[in-house]
């Protein structure tokens, strides 16, 4: 019988081993590739909802998310969860992530109301208008009304007016710009001020300067101030206000 040399034997065994490894590897990969991905089922066990909840509750987020996390870890639609949570009125932004092997993390950020907008909405300082179901808690916020799609411009004007009034220890309650671009403001004392359509800020500053010659109680008796005049303004007084000696007001140092 012919002896087989060591070297051919080693080569033969090596080739058989390599064929065995490559053949096994090919079969496994093929089988995995052919398996439907959704047949590998990993149920979601945990949904974590995080954020600073001042106006929104976790239960509100949970209620809209619950039906969306009933599928497997791989099948759950992250974009669907994101868009659904984002649709809640108080949501500013949301981040949704899968966390292996069985959790979904949801991080929410609330809108911060800056003022009331119209009769049924709030507005952020960035000009985002939104309409939560309950507005009772915000009744003391400044009420702002303005033309559609111009809310950012309206807010900037309102901020300037609010600052000018605060310098005179006055508080802005309402600010309105109508479709004809006429301005009207209302103070927390219910005093209404008509500013018209031209040089509104200049007229307001002129009016505020004249308050220095009036006594506080006289200012409090004003019901309506009309600043739409080019060189002055008209005042309507509350009922029962005593007559004012304007000559004495204009020349206080004359006995």
What pLDDT does 59 receive? 92
pLDDT category at 244 given cuts 50, 70, 90 is low
Is the pLDDT at 43 greater than 90, yes or no?
A: no
Does 97 lie in the same domain as 203?
no
Enumerate long-range contacts of 57-62, CB under 8 Å, 24 or more apart: 60/88, 61/85, 61/88, 61/106, 61/108
Specify the residue for token string 């945990």.
46
Mean pLDDT over all residues of the chain? 83
Does 122 lie in the same domain as 106?
no
Does 240 lie in the same domain as 129?
yes
Does 73 lie in the same domain as 86?
yes
Does 169 lie in the same domain as 79?
no
Contact 19, 51 (CB under 8 A): no
Per-residue pLDDT tens for 159-189? 999 999 999 999 999 999 998 999 999 999 9
* Assigned token pair, 83: 């868009």
**How many separate domains does the chain show?**
2
> Within 10 A of 9 (CB to CB), how many other CB atoms are there?
11
Is residue 12 in some structural domain?
A: no
Query: How far is the C-alpha of 88 from the C-alpha of 56, rounded, in Å?
Result: 9
* Assigned token pair, 126: 């960035």
Domain stop point among 67, 86, 110: 110
Per-residue pLDDT tens for 83-101? 999 999 999 999 999 999 8
Closest CA to 201 of 151, 156, 140, 234: 156
Domain hosting 64: range is 46-110
* Assigned token pair, 131: 């309409």
Specify the residue for token string 């002896």.
3
Report the range of poorest mean pLDDT among 32-41, 150-159, 222-231: 32-41
What pLDDT does 245 receive? 63
Is the pLDDT at 34 greater than 70, yes or no?
A: no
Beta bridge partners of 121: 117
DSSP state of 58: H
- Looking at residues 98-126, what average pLDDT do you find? 94
Per-residue pLDDT tens for 57-84? 999 999 999 999 998 899 999 999 999 9
Query: Which residues does 237 contact at the CB level (< 8 Å), separation at least 6?
Result: 221, 222, 223
Query: Degrees (nearest 5) of the Cα angle 56, 61, 62?
Result: 135
Per-residue pLDDT tens for 143-160? 999 998 899 999 999 999
Does 181 lie in the same domain as 161?
yes
* Assigned token pair, 151: 């809310």
């Amino acid at each position: 019988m012919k002896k087989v040399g060591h070297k051919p034997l080693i080569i033969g065994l090596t080739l058989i081993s390599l064929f065995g490894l490559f053949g096994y590897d090919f079969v496994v990969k093929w089988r995995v590739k052919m398996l439907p991905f959704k047949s590998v089922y990993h149920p979601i066990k945990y949904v974590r909802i995080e954020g600073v909840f001042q106006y929104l509750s976790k239960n509100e987020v949970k209620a809209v998310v619950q039906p969306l996390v009933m599928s497997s870890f791989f099948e759950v639609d992250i974009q669907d969860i994101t868009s659904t949570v984002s649709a809640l009125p108080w949501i500013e932004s949301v981040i949704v992530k899968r966390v292996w092997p069985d959790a979904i993390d949801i991080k929410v950020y609330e809108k911060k109301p800056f003022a009331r907008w119209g009769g049924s909405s709030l507005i952020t300082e960035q000009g985002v208008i939104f309409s939560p179901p309950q507005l009772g808690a915000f009744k003391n916020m400044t009420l702002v009304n303005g033309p559609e799609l111009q809310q950012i411009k309206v807010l900037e004007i309102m901020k300037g007016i609010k600052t000018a009034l605060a310098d005179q220890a006055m508080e802005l309650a309402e600010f309105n710009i109508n479709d004809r671009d006429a301005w009207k403001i209302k103070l927390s004392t219910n005093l209404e001020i008509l500013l018209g359509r031209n040089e509104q800020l200049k007229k307001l500053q002129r009016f505020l300067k004249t308050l220095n010659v009036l006594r506080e109680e006289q200012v409090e008796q004003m019901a309506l101030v009309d600043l739409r005049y080019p060189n002055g303004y008209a005042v309507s007084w509350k009922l029962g206000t005593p007559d004012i000696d304007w000559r004495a007001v204009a020349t206080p140092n004359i006995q």
